[in-house]
Amino acid sequence: MSVPLPDKIQTVVVTGGARGLGVHIVRALHKAGFRVVITDIDTGPAEALASELDLAGETAVTATLDVTKPEDFQGVLDKIVARWGSCEVLVNNAARTAVQGVFDIDPAHFNAVMTTNAGSVFAGCQIFGRHFRERGYGRIVNLASLAGQNGGTATGAHYAASKGAILTLTKIFARELAADGVTCNAIAPGPLDTPMVREVLGDSLDKALANIPVGQLGSPELVAQMVSFLASPQAAFVNGACWDVNGGIYMR
């Protein structure tokens, strides 16, 4: 198995890295010594984060990426290769949803959520996977969800379905790429302590906490630390796995 030289900084692409959980992931990876490429469809927040991490623009940069367009993934990869020669890690984090009852979701919106969430993971794994395979090394980390494991509909049936698809795609690419020194893993967070989650739960927060065995919401920083580990050379024997971060709501 080919492993990058210790003195070579590794480059990681994070989709949806300018907001929500993505920001925590970007911070953790940068702190761990990775060069981070913060991608988003709106680069304003991404540029602010990159400047905060590295004003020189060497270890934290941005790239415009519409995850519904495979050609955008290829464009980002081409720019990275032209500047630094290679990319070592892809973190598929970008996602969307809207809280709707299952009978209120129209087919067009269902398909749009599936394209953004699961379709982007397929495109990213396929395009970056080819590059990693050619190099003989790579790490792919996909952000799934508890909803994709237990069929939860609190965030929408379309969201849950897309996250379930991500778990399957993770296993498929893990098998396809393993012989070439590339691993592919997923992380499935439960409810995290973020402003969005607290807003969605509202007055039902106490009830939600009562259903979590550890009695508290999850830490976004913990998820980010797991991403950092799975992105590292040390995670070479972890492949096709789903790491549960749900406080014991769902046990396997």
How far, in Å, CA of 133 to CA of 150, rounded?
33
Q: Dihedrals φ, ψ of 242, to 5°?
A: -115, 120
**Known catalytic membership, residue 159:** yes
Can you read off the two tokens belonging to residue 198? 């607290």
How far, in Å, CA of 21 to CA of 151, rounded?
21
Q: Virtual CA dihedral for 202, 208, 214, 217, nearest 10 degrees?
A: -30
Q: Dihedrals φ, ψ of 60, to 5°?
A: -145, 110
Q: Which residues contact 98 (CB under 8 A, 6 or more apart)?
A: 109, 113, 156
Q: Virtual CA dihedral for 107, 110, 115, 116, nearest 10 degrees?
A: 140
How far, in Å, CA of 161 to CA of 233, rounded?
31
**SS3 letters across 215-245:** CCCECHHHHHHHHHHHCCHHHCCCCCCEEEE
- Annotated catalytic residue: which of 34, 110, 128, 159? 159
Q: Is the Cβ–Cβ distance between 16 and 93 less than 8 Å?
A: yes
Which residues are tagged catalytic?
159
